[in-house]
Structure 1
Amino acid sequence: MIRFLGLQTHQSSCHCLSGPFGCRSIIAFVVAVCLAVGPVAAGPGEYLKKPDTWFAGDEAKKIAANILSFQTELGGWPKNESTTAGPYTGDRKDLKPTYDNGATTDELRFLARIYSATKDAPYKTAFDRGLDYVLAGQYPNGGWPQYHPPGKGYHRHITFNDNAMVRLLTFLREVATTKTYAFVDDARRKTAATAFDRGIVCILKCQIKVDGKLTAWCAQHDEIDFRPRPARTFELATLSGSESVGITRILMSLDDPSPEVVRAVEAAAAWFEAAKLTGIRVASEKDEKGPKGVNKVVVKDPTAPPLWARFYEIGTNKPVFADRDGVQKMALADIGYERRNGYAWYGAWPEKLLTVGYPAWKKRVAAKTGR
């Protein structure tokens, strides 16, 4: 991976698009070729495994037409929609674009591939609009909200939740550096590189200190002062055992990490080790009184592999849990059935990073720095 840390500070801007291939032409293009590809389809990311020749064929064009039909007026795509299975048939004004839940980035990757294969101008126009939506959403401090414009709710916070910001940074690095995006104009590619740089700086500013010691990250951070912030009522302002993994990985992917980045990675790895939970596992037990007949419980098991909690209390490093009332509890059993069984409170998220990724990264950094 190529590292961008020129640390330019100008704000990304959204390029205005005009000419013969504006929104009306794209809609007409969709209508002309939009045929459903069946009742069940993979997400756009699954099709990226296809060879370049496939993207020049009729099946790819049908899927692209479906993807284009879901592109919102602001340029991004909605979440929790199957944007490849069939065309959108509702009012386009009802579609709300977002960076959350994997939305927008894979649709853009698909359009880049099919434009490179076909050179059909509407694909490029749609791609440019989507890339501009990504660039326009970045705050001057380098972070992204959950969607743009961000509104006044928790969605306005810098959003690491579900790896939203890490996905955007990964995509922008691809745009700035890889041959797949050679068709993108120089101005946008340079802006993507600068946005990546600013995103890394934002990540470093968000890393939480406890008693002067760097630890990990919250799933959301304040868009003004970077402090940890809550999201949904059961997602408290805590240290994240899940989202912090993706953040650490993107820092580790930098080719020539600065001393600040090295310190951030080493501190995060130390925190993952300190936050590791042993001697327990999460089991699903029969529960005839439960709505679904099963119930998640934490049981003691000295042979169980390590686990990490989704959320840790800042300052004590104790796992915390909450219902939709937002009241912090200290055990999974203390929250109600619905949230207890409907959310990923435990996982092995950092395990591969600690056992494979981090040791390899240490060797690579040592080889470059002599430390």
Structure 2
Amino acid sequence: MHLRFLPLLLALGVMTLPVRADLRAEATESLRRGVAFFTTLNVHGGYGYAATPDNAQRWGESPLGPAEVEVQPPGTPAVGESLLRVWQVTGDDVALAGARAAAAALIRGQNRHGGWDHTIDFSDLTNETVSFDDNQTQAAIGFLLKLNREIDDPALAAAVERSIAMMIATQLPNGGWPHRYPAGGDYHDYATFNDGGINDCVAVMILARRLYPDDGDGGIDRSLRQVARFMMISQLPPPQPGWAQQYNEYLQPAWARTFEPPAVCPAVTVRNLETLIDLWLELGDETLLEPIPDSLRWLRESRLPNGKWARFVEIGTGKALYYDRGRVRVDSVTELHPERRTGYGYETDLSGHLAAVTARFEAALELGRKGLRARENTALAESDERTRARLEVTVRRIIADQEASGAWISREDRFKKVMPRGVRWNGEYEQMDRVRSAVFNRNVALLCDYLELTR
């Protein structure tokens, strides 16, 4: 079990906490009611990011049509995984039915290439785009893989096979994956790390390799070795041994959108170090750890005076780069249009991520593959009274925040005002009571963690 939301609370070891039967019963009932309500918000089995409690208005990255659902997390695949986990932990048949319905929605929306765009519109299923942006296609495959391991469904098995074949077919000759497929003759064709594109591709192929260790012709293994090589050769040279957001066919950092210049990118670099460790754990190639020390040094040295890291660092000079639409370069975040200043993360605090990947790398050197795998895959946790108290406070808060209907409602939820087509966002927000998929997914994960930890 991977305790995604409790890494600072729990140390690996043997579970010694006394079971609180009353709170376990309340947590189980909370999950049952939460699932019973949330599944009423489905459209053809799928979900968006948010909806009004009566499901009359629905949103993804923008307002959704009446027959439209989101593939991008925290939408349909992420909700499907939450429902699957509830069934695995509690045996709730409503949760399993919801997970199967979410899978059916994805299968129906799977295009002829075997992948997905960021939304599915059930009134028009002609979309042929495979998007690797923002964990869209990858999240869909990951959920279907996990459900396919649990149930016998020929349509599900066939969709999984098609999706893995698609992952192999869309991999670029250099070993990376593009932003989108099929090729369109623009930056979407480039090998893209931005928003975790290639990283999420690696993660889903590792999952496929573990669930399907013999894929016939060794295509999954070969694909992972190809992307491992790409990550090694795409690292930029000293004194800036990081990675760019995207690379053209000549392995050069390249422009994407007009505010995304070719540059060294600290956030991309941190994610890539995690992925290199993942690939090392999976493939056993010791050379995959070799780029990490130089990159860690560069990351520490490239921190801005305000304690954050620039999204883009100019190649050669090391200066922070800030671009608005139209390739308009400015000198600071404050000079950017509100659309860019608040919606893109030109400066971010990577200190926590940097500390985590540094600790993981040091553990890799100390423990080796077997030891690190054992530590990261341990299903139980050791804790003390203080940690138990924190866990119980969190669970009780989740239960207290739940409505009688079973909904977790974000009161006066604040979100960007939708502008007319062609008009840039002007900095205005709207507020409305909404039920958010991200909140549902988070609460489900925490409640399931608690039930598993106190079993």
Which TM-score applies when normalising by structure 2? 0.60
SS in 2 for 1:314: coil
**How far apart are residue 122 of structure 1 and its match?**
0.5
1:276-296 per-position Cα deviation (integer Å, ceiling 9, x unaligned): 123x3xxxxxxxxxxxxxxxx
Choose from 60, 75, 98 the match for 1:59: 98
SS in 2 for 1:94: coil
Query: Is the contact between residue 214 and residue 264 of structure 1 (CA under 8 Å) also seen in structure 2?
Result: no
Q: Give the Cα separation in 2 of the matches to 1:175 and 1:336.
A: 42
Query: Is the contact between residue 209 and residue 220 of structure 2 (CA under 8 Å) also seen in structure 1?
Result: yes
| CA shift in 2, pair 1:66/1:263, >3 Å | same
The answer for unaligned runs of 5 or more in structure 1 is: 1-32, 281-305
Query: Is the contact between residue 207 and residue 214 of structure 1 (CA under 8 Å) also seen in structure 2?
Result: no
Q: Give the Cα separation in 1 of the matches to 2:363 and 2:46.
A: 50
Q: What is residue 120 of structure 1 aligned with on the other side?
A: 153
| CA shift in 2, pair 1:173/1:263, >3 Å | same
Q: After the TM superposition, which residues 5-20 of structure 1 pair with which residues of structure 2 at under 5 Å, given as runs? A: none
Q: Give the Cα separation in 1 of the matches to 2:160 and 2:297.
A: 40
The answer for unaligned runs of 5 or more in structure 2 is: 1-42, 48-53, 59-68, 370-455
Matched, 1:326 2:327: yes
Q: Give the Cα separation in 2 of the matches to 1:203 and 1:250.
A: 9
Query: Is the contact between residue 311 and residue 345 of structure 1 (CA under 8 Å) also seen in structure 2?
Result: yes
Q: What is residue 215 of structure 2 aligned with on the other side?
A: 186
**How far apart are residue 97 of structure 1 and its match?**
1.9
Q: Give the Cα separation in 1 of the matches to 2:233 and 2:362.
A: 22
SS in 1 for 2:185: coil
- RMSD over aligned CA atoms reads 2.7
Aligned AA (1:323)? D
**How far apart are residue 257 of structure 1 and its match?**
6.3
| CA shift in 2, pair 1:36/1:99, >3 Å | closer
**How far apart are residue 353 of structure 1 and its match?**
3.6
Aligned AA (2:173)? P
Query: Is the contact between residue 115 and residue 131 of structure 2 (CA under 8 Å) also seen in structure 1?
Result: yes
| CA shift in 2, pair 1:68/1:346, >3 Å | same
Aligned AA (2:229)? V
Q: Give the Cα separation in 1 of the matches to 2:162 and 2:268.
A: 28
Q: After the TM superposition, which residues 79-98 of structure 1 pair with which residues of structure 2 at under 5 Å, given as runs? A: 79=118, 81=119, 88-98=121-131
Which TM-score applies when normalising by structure 1? 0.72
1:89-127 per-position Cα deviation (integer Å, ceiling 9, x unaligned): 222213522111211122112222333332110001111
Matched, 1:158 2:191: yes
| CA shift in 2, pair 1:333/1:214, >3 Å | closer
| CA shift in 2, pair 1:360/1:337, >3 Å | closer
1:207-248 per-position Cα deviation (integer Å, ceiling 9, x unaligned): 1114xx45101100122x211111100000011121111111
Q: Give the Cα separation in 1 of the matches to 2:349 and 2:92.
A: 36
Q: Give the Cα separation in 2 of the matches to 1:117 and 1:191.
A: 24
Query: Is the contact between residue 309 and residue 347 of structure 1 (CA under 8 Å) also seen in structure 2?
Result: yes
Percent identity of equivalent pairs: 23
Choose from 60, 80, 99 the match for 1:47: 80
| CA shift in 2, pair 1:257/1:339, >3 Å | same
Q: Give the Cα separation in 2 of the matches to 1:139 and 1:341.
A: 33
More contact order relative to length (CA 8 Å, sep ≥ 6): 2
**How far apart are residue 333 of structure 1 and its match?**
2.8
Number of aligned residue pairs: 296
Aligned AA (1:270)? R
| CA shift in 2, pair 1:364/1:108, >3 Å | closer
1:35-59 per-position Cα deviation (integer Å, ceiling 9, x unaligned): 6789479521243241445689322
Matched, 1:220 2:246: yes
- Which segment drifts farther, 65-74 or 332-341? 332-341
Query: Is the contact between residue 194 and residue 246 of structure 2 (CA under 8 Å) also seen in structure 1?
Result: yes
Q: Give the Cα separation in 2 of the matches to 1:257 and 1:115.
A: 27
Q: After the TM superposition, which residues 127-142 of structure 1 pair with which residues of structure 2 at under 5 Å, given as runs? A: 127-142=160-175
Matched, 1:206 2:238: no
Q: Give the Cα separation in 1 of the matches to 2:321 and 2:330.
A: 6
Q: Give the Cα separation in 2 of the matches to 1:135 and 1:162.
A: 20
Q: What is residue 365 of structure 2 aligned with on the other side?
A: 365
Q: What is residue 235 of structure 1 aligned with on the other side?
A: 260
SS in 1 for 2:129: coil
Query: Is the contact between residue 70 and residue 95 of structure 1 (CA under 8 Å) also seen in structure 2?
Result: no
| CA shift in 2, pair 1:125/1:168, >3 Å | same
Aligned AA (1:358)? T
